Structures are given as structure tokens and as C-alpha cells.
Amino acid sequence: MSALGTIATASFRQYSTYRVATAAGVFTNTVFGLIRASIMLAAISAAGGELRGYDALQAATYVWLGQALIAPIETFGTRELGERVHQGEVAVDLLRPTPLLPLMYAQKLGRSSFLLLARGVPPLLAGAVITGIALPESLWSYPLGLLSLLLAVTVAFLADTLVNLAAFWVLETRGLGVLYMAVMNLLSGFLIPIVWFPDWLLTIARATPFPSMIQTPVDALSGRVGPAESLLPLAVQAGWVAVLALAAVLALRAGERRLEVQGG
Amino acid sequence: MVRALYGSRLRSQASFRLSFLADLGGQALIVAVEFLELWVILSQVGVLGGMTLPQVAVVYGLGALAFGIADLLLGEVDGLSPMIRSGKLETLLVRPVPMLLQISSLDLSLRRLGRILVGLAMYVVALGLAGFSPTPTLLLLAVLAPLAGAGIFSALLTMAGAMQFWLIEGREFANAFTYGGNYVATTPGAVFALPMRAFFTFVIPATLVAYAPTLALLHLPGPALIPGWAGWMGLPTAILAWVLAALLWRAGIRHYTGAGG
């Protein structure tokens, strides 16, 4: 247990050394937030001040919370594990005394904590100054929102790991990763809230783990969905964690049996 | 020489047919998914930034086409900083071929054709749906606009690359203007508040890529700061942007000190 704790701390520190990159990321994230907020607010005002439960302030909050989650959720996906499988370096990872998936999860938690604080919170504050953001009515929304965020990071980590593990079977995973990112950005409710979708698309989105990555934590943190009502979406998140964790363990086990590393 | 450089890259990529087709399809799908954002909004509200769905589709298709062309030719300039850090740039510098041409041909990825093809198809179909009535002048603008837009974006990408000679770690900083510019360009410019509209017109000329030409092509009234005739400003803006980009790029190369390798 303490080994994983050390790994998480080290991962947090590792990312904190890139200061210029962090500042650049915050800046870019804020500019994109401004662009997205402009589109959303124009849509709300065209709809007469309210669109399917979102007024201007709720929509702005939705955008800035979404921007805050980009970095810790890693919506652009990671490619490290897939590349290590291709290079054969994964053989070394599999020999380590700490099992691969918990090790990577510890790294992810350390990294995400740093990214949330350094890259997520500043754009959120910028947004609060520029457009204003809605704060939840109930204090319970804060702990439930943070729990939802932890579950969201876990769901995103597991799904991303599964995409990377595909490298055991297919030679080039970049195309798959790009495809995954496009679908995830849409169905997670990152670009627009999923309740704005037409019914058929909403049905598709709800059948996938994607809303558990962005829409659910944003709803819980912003208080748009009250504490009592957010218990069900949180349970759905926990369900996806269980399903995807099982899938990732099975995929890794099957991949290990297939793995063939040349040379030494 | 240009033909030899690009020809070899094209041939090598065409030999991995399946992977190439998957990549191409993936790129095309991304453009379609990104447009879904605007489509969903417009299916709810009808008019966004003073434009209907076919009109927004013209803006989106034109912007995607222009960015696609620029990204195909100079998209890899964005990846300069690892080359600077690893010293790989030295090997390019000693060759008697302009560096920008080398970088451009080195990683010319044909999968980026996907974005161009979808953008072009959307542009043409949406123009038809939006009731475009061509006159010789407007037809000229319709052909000129994607090329001028590609000129603007490729200049922006080059400046973003040149900046990395100074800000090796700050690569993401430029994304706000290149990819952010693409985001703005594919959106009706009237949705932006005045300060942002001014910034993305006069500093980063993103609204001049697709939104302004669309206003001119479809005879739509423009919002404050972007009158209909601004649709013709794409080409002069592209030329000005390239002058600045070339100066910045030269300064960047001069500033570069080898990492020893």
C-alpha cells in the first residue's frame, strides 16, 4: 500500500516540475473556455434565456467546470501504455513487484491531483470572474461532487487503459485512440450537455460509460442536480468502475498470454 | 526537389492501405462529430449568431476545409519542440533545403485528407442548401476563400512553431491561437462578445477565414466589426500574416542554439 502511495506522490511531483507548460496550459484552457462559453450563451439567449434546464449562469458554470476537468480526466487520452506494449517495454512493467494496473492507477491519481489543482482550478476562477459561476445551494453537493469526480477519474482511467491495451492485438492504436477521443468528447457531455441531445443520441449516450466521466461530476459539483438526486448517477458511476475494472483485468490477462517480446 | 520530397512520402503512406483507410475514416468522423455540437444546438434553437443551420454549415465546412489544407501542409511544425530538445533539428539545418519545406514534407500525413474531404463536401452541399446564387464575382470568392483561409492558418501554425524556439515548454500556449483559431473560424462570429470578436478578427484573423466570406457569399448582414465586404479581406490578411510568419521563423532559426549532438 505504501509503495502505491509513494508512486502517487512521485507522480504528483513529477508533473509539478513543468511550470511553463502548466502556465501555457492554463492560458489555452481559459481561451477555449471563453470560446465555448460564447457559443453556449448565444444558444441560451437565442432560446429565450433558458434551454432545457440551463439558464445563462448554469451554462457558464457547466462550461468552466468542464474546462477544469479536461486535465485531470485527460479527455485527450494517453498513449503511454499502448506504446510500451508496442516497444515491448511492458515486459519490464509486468515483472515489477507491484501489479501493473494498480501501479498505473496510483500514477494517474497523483498526476490528476496535480492537474486538477494547477490546470483545473485557475480556469475555473477565471471563469468565475469573467462570466460568473453558479454555486450549489446545498453544502452536501461539495463532498458528493468530489466523490463523483474521483469516480469519474477512475472510469476515464479504466476506459483509456482498455483502449491502450488493444495494442496487444492491433499494431497501430493511434487511429483507435483518435476515434475514442472524438466519441468521448461528444457522448461524455463535454461539448454540450447530454440533455440537449435529441432522444436517440441521449439513449445511446446513457448506455455508455462516457457521461460518467464529465456530465455526472459536473452536475454534482455545480449543484444543478441536487445531492439526493445525484445518488443514482453516482451509483451508475460506481457500476461502470466495477464493469470496466473487470474488463481491464481480463484484457490484461489475455494480453499477457499473447505478448511476445523479441530480443532482450 | 519538392516533387521528390513529397512524392516519396506519399508513396510510403499509400503502401499501408488498411491503416491509412482507418486513419482517414477516423479523421473524417472527428470533423462530423465536432459539427454535431453545432447541429444539436441549432436543432434546439433554430438560429445561432444570426445564422440558420445551412448557413452555419457553410461556415463550418469552409473553416474545416481551410484548416485541413493548412494542417496537411504545416501541421507538423507544431511538433518542433521535441526536435529542438533532442537536437534532431541539427540534421535538418545542415541540409541545403529550406527547413520549413523539410519539416512540411517529413511528416506529411495523408490521413489529414479526411478533414479536407469532409470540409469540402460540407462546404459545397451547404452552399447549395443555403440558397447560394453564384455570380462570377461570388464564384471567385467561393474558390478563393478556402485558399486564403488555408494561407492564414498555415501562417498561424508557422508562427506557433517559430515561437517554440524561445518557449520550448510553452508549446500549448500557441494552441490557443491555432486550434482555438480553428474553433472560432468554424463558428458564426456574431456569437462572440465585442472584445473577443475584435481579438479574433484583428489580432488572430480567425473570423476572416470562414465567417466573413460566408456573409459575403450569402448576402447576409454582418455584426459590428465584421461587415459583409470583410469577406474579401482573407487574401490580403493571409499575405500579411505570412510576411510576419516568415520574419518570425527566420528570427527563430537565428536564435536557435544547438543542443550539441
Hey, are the CB atoms on A47 and B45 less than 8 Å from each other?
Answer: yes
- Average pLDDT, whole number, for chain B? 88
Mutation for testing the B interface, residue in A18, A30, A39, A204 having most B CBs under 10 Å: A39
d(CA B182, nearest CA chain A) in Å? 11
Cα distance between residue A219 and residue A237, in whole Å: 13
Chain A interface residues (partner B, CB cutoff 8 A): 18, 20-21, 23-25, 27-28, 31-32, 34-35, 38-39, 41-43, 46-47, 51-52, 171-172, 174-175, 178-179, 181-183, 185-186, 191-192, 196-198, 201
Q: What is the pLDDT of residue B16?
A: 64
Q: How far is B168 from chain A (nearest CA, A)?
A: 9
Instruction: Answer whether A28 sits within 8 Å of B173, measured CB to CB.
Output: yes
Could you tell me which of B108, B123, B121 has the C-alpha nearest to residue B74?
Answer: B108
Instruction: Give the alpha-carbon dihedral of B236, B240, B242, B246, to 10 degrees.
Output: 160
- Contact status, residue A16 vs residue A119, Cβ threshold 8 Å: no
Grid cell 443520441 is found at: A201
Termini Cα distance of chain B: 27
Identify which has the larger pLDDT, A129 or B92.
A129
Cα four-point dihedral sign A195, A200, A201, A207: positive
**Dihedral through CA B257, CA B178, CA B67, CA A63, nearest 10?**
150
Is there a contact between A20 and B170 if contact means CB atoms under 8 Å apart? yes
pLDDT, mean of residues B204-227 = 94
Which pLDDT band holds residue A95 (cuts at 50, 70, 90)? Answer: confident
Span B151-178, mean pLDDT?
A: 89
Residues of B with CB under 8 A from a CB of A: 19, 22-23, 26-27, 29-30, 33-34, 36-38, 40-41, 43-49, 167, 169-173, 175-176, 180, 183-184, 187, 190-193, 196
pLDDT at A261 over 60: yes
Is the pLDDT confidence value at A258 over 90? no
Test B169 with A20 for CB contact under 8 angstroms.
yes
Nearest alpha carbon to residue B231 among B69, B59, B99 = B59
Sequence-distant (6+) residues with CB within 8 A of A73 are A112, A152, A153, A156, A213, A214
DSSP-derived 3-state class of residue B219: coil
Q: Choose from A27, A35, A45, A54 for mutation: most chain B CBs within 10 A.
A: A35
Residues in contact with B247: Cβ distance below 8 Å, sequence separation at least 6, in sequence order: none
Measured distance CA(A223)–CA(B166) in Å, rounded: 43
pLDDT at A25 over 60: yes
Nearest partner of B68 among B7, B27, B23, B102, judged by Cα: B27
A41: chain B residues, CB-CB within 8 Å? 191
Distance of CA B101 to the CA centre of its chain: 18
Cβ contact (<8 Å) for A196 and B40? yes
**A197 vs B192: CB contact, 8 Å cut-off?**
no
Cα separation of A207 and B21, whole Å? 28
> What is d(CA B207, CA B222) in angstroms, rounded to the nearest whole number?
11
Q: Among A29, A31, A199, which would you mutate to test the B interface (most chain B Cβ atoms within 10 Å of its Cβ)?
A: A31
| Nearest-neighbour CA in chain B from A225: distance (Å) | 22
3-state secondary structure of B247: helix
> Can you count the helices (H) and strands (E) in chain B?
12, 0
pLDDT in tens, A126-180: 999 999 999 998 999 999 999 999 999 999 999 999 999 988 888 777 778 878 8
**Listed range (A79-93, A132-146, B227-241) with the worst mean pLDDT:** A79-93
Burial of A9 (0-12, 13-18, 19+ CB in 10 A): middle
Give me the pLDDT at residue A17, please.
84
| Residue-level pLDDT at A32 | 95
Verify whether the Cβ–Cβ distance A42 to B29 is below 8 Å. Answer: no
Query: How far is it, in rounded angstroms, from Cα B34 to Cα B2?
Result: 34
Name the pTM for this structure: 0.90
pLDDT, position B104: 79
Whole-number percent of chain A with pLDDT over 90: 68
Which of A24, A181, A192 minimises the CB distance to B172? A24
Amino acid B150: pLDDT: 97
HEC per residue, chain A: CHHHHHHHHHHHHHHHCCHHHHHHHHHHHHHHHHHHHHHHHHHHHHCCCEECCEEHHHHHHHHHHHHHHHHHHCCCCCCHHHHHHHHCCHHHHHHCCCCHHHHHHHHHHHHHHHHHHHHHHHHHHHHHHHCCCCCCCCCCHHHHHHHHHHHHHHHHHHHHHHHHHHHHCCCCCHHHHHHHHHHHHHHCCCCCCHHHCCHHHHHHHHCCCHHHCCHHHHHHHHCCCCCCCCHHHHHHHHHHHHHHHHHHHHHHHHHHHHCCCCCC
Residue of chain A minimizing CA distance to B193 = A38
Pick the range with the lowest mean pLDDT from A68-72, B62-66, B103-107.
B103-107
Q: What is the ipTM of this complex?
A: 0.89
Torsion angles phi and psi, residue B9, rounded to 5: -65, -40
Average pLDDT of the segment spanning A22-30: 93
Say whether B51 sits in a helix, a strand or coil: strand
Mean pLDDT of chain A: 91
Contact B92, B99 (CB under 8 A): yes
**pLDDT tens per residue across span B28-71:** 878 888 898 899 999 989 899 999 999 999 999 999 999 999 99
Which of B75-89, B160-174, B207-221 is predicted with the least confidence, judged by mean pLDDT? B75-89
- A116 vs A208: CA distance, rounded Å: 24
For residue B261, the model assigns a pLDDT of: 47
Which neighbouring-strand residues pair with A51? Answer: A54
Output the CA torsion B1→B2→B4→B5 (10° steps). Answer: 120
Q: What pLDDT sits at residue B19?
A: 66
